[in-house]
Amino acid sequence: MIYNKTIETLPLVELRKLQNKRLKHTLNRLYKQVPFYKKQFDNLGLLPEDVKGVEDLHQLPFTKKSDLRDHYPFGLFTCAPNKLSRIHASSGTTGKPTVVGYTKNDLAIFDEVVARSLACAGAKPGMRLHNAYGYGLFTGGLGMHGGAEKIGMAVIPISGGMTDRQLRLLEDFQSEVICCTPSYAQTIAFECEKRGINPSRFNLKYAVLGAEPWTEAIRSDIEKKLQLKATNIYGLSEIIGPGVSQEDFEEQGTGSYIWEDHFFPEIVDKDSGKPLPYGQEGVLIFTTLTKEAFPVLRYWTNDICSLTYDYSSKRTHIKMSAIKGRSDDMLIIRGVNLFHTQVESILTDIPELSANYQLVVTKAEAMDKVTVKVEMNASNTSDNINLATHFARKIKTNIGISMDVILETPGTIPRSEGGKLNRIVDLRNK
Ligand code: DLL
């Protein structure tokens, strides 16, 4: 189902006109209301009207997470705190939390883009949504909630964790759609297996998974074990939350539509910051076009992907590829760049291995060393020494790095307990 057919299939020429009109409004708002942005324009000797359209955005500087922290908590907001309807914040494990605010109109946009995303993922009015994203300062739970109600679904606001209760309610309430992190969907599938629960006792048809990078290896694991169709939802608090982009359930693997009437994307080189052409991989940048309380200009997401228009697809909006990783999470091992998703992708080809793994990075005699710990599938009966060698060889051929492989028994490598899972254990500076 296409939730907002007029907008989602708007011809590109019209979409550009709409973006340019909205951009003009946003730039004026930022220039007038936020000293940080005014200073940026002044330093360049530019006025908002010098930026004629989205094609001129590259002249402006990026906004980075550090800028948000430097203006903690409300310094980049364009309205007074008494005009806000909601505030979310990141966990702030690496310093001050990043704070984001929403007016009533912003929340209406949030609901709209999540409603579009849910429909794109296969959900329909009248279905139930088992919402296992965390409720609280994290945007996942409340963000999905608003969009689901807007589309006419009943929401089960179960939040993350307490897996026993999740299993019970999945069976009792017969929800057709689940949303959570892909690693938590794996936990649910694993716990079903462990308890001998056949997921056919549930009524799940679709899973809307995101908030962390994941690959086809995890998709096929979840789809097989939970007997449903899984799609990718992407977003970040600084831009709105979940629902910045969404993969269509009938176009799996071809990328996710960015709702570009609200969020204008660019891809730039991670070192030079120079714009890159469609199809090339780089850092994803967003400019919000409609947000009121907290618009952002050229926000540096740190996420690595590429952009393309897919003219054979249902909607006109641009598609982004699955995120390979965050540029600040990229490991450099003996001079070679490494994202954990590259190792994960190889798991697709080895059915004896599960998609639950961990990369442990250590230093041995001044050299970085990566050990891949991976759980075997419960049904595995093969020769494990050969299996480990086979996996290590595939890693070396595909990625160019030698890694040690340790095969573990099922249930021994940490799993998500409800939220995002860190698959990298870096012991180099310990
Ligand atoms: O994770 C919002 C969200 C909630 C998205 C629920 C999807 C579903 P933050 O906590 O601000 O917001 O984290 C944003 O998470 O910059 C990416 O690095 C990562 N991320 C989010 N979705 C995906 C995805 C939410 N589908 C950061 N694939 C982003 C890969 C993702 N990474």
* 369 CA distance to ligand 1 middle (Å): 28
Give the amino acid at 282: G
Q: What confidence score (pLDDT) does residue 12 get?
A: 98
Instruction: Say if ligand 1 is within 6 A of residue 140 CB.
Output: yes
- Read off the pLDDT of residues 219-246 as tens digits, 9 standing for 90 and up: 999 999 999 999 999 999 999 999 999 9
Residue 235 CB less than 6 A away from ligand 1: yes
353's tokens: 């291995």
What pLDDT is stored for residue 32 in this prediction? 98
Q: Measured from the CA of 233, which atom of ligand 1 is nearest? A: 26
Residue 344 CA to residue 232 CA, distance in Å, equals: 16
> Which residue among 102, 118, 139, 236 is best mutated to probe the pocket of ligand 1, counting the most ligand atoms within 8 A of its Cβ?
236
Q: Which among 212, 215, 34, 63 has a CA at the least distance from the CA of 138? A: 212
C-alpha 375/C-alpha 383 separation (Å) is 14
Cβ of 211 closer than 6 Å to ligand 1, yes or no, is yes
Mutate to test the pocket of ligand 1, among 212, 252, 329 (most ligand atoms within 8 A of CB): 212
Structure tokens at 187: 């936990």
**What's the pTM?**
0.98
Residue 233 beta carbon below 6 angstroms from any ligand 1 atom: yes
pLDDT value at position 379?
76
Neighbours of 417 (CB within 10 A): 13
129 Cβ contact partners less than 8 Å away, ≥ 6 residues apart: 118, 123, 144, 148, 153, 154, 155, 156, 175, 177, 178, 179
Starting from the edge strand earliest in sequence, which strands make up the sheet with 177-180, in order? 154-156, 128-131, 177-180, 206-210, 229-236, 241-247, 256-258, 319-320, 307-308
So what's the pLDDT on residue 118? 99
Query: Which regions in the chain score pLDDT beneath 50?
Result: none
pLDDT at 93: 60
Strands 307-308, 319-320: pairing is: antiparallel
Joined tokens for residue 61: 């500087």
Peptide bond preceding 73: is omega within 30 degrees of 0, i.e. cis? yes
The confidence score (pLDDT) of residue 92 equals 63
Distances from the Cα of 27 to the Cα of 16, 36, 48, 291, 406, angstroms? 16, 12, 6, 11, 53
DSSP assignment string, 252-264: TTS-EEE-TTTEE
Amino acid at 414: P
The predicted pLDDT at position 94 comes to 62
Tokens of 33: 């209301």
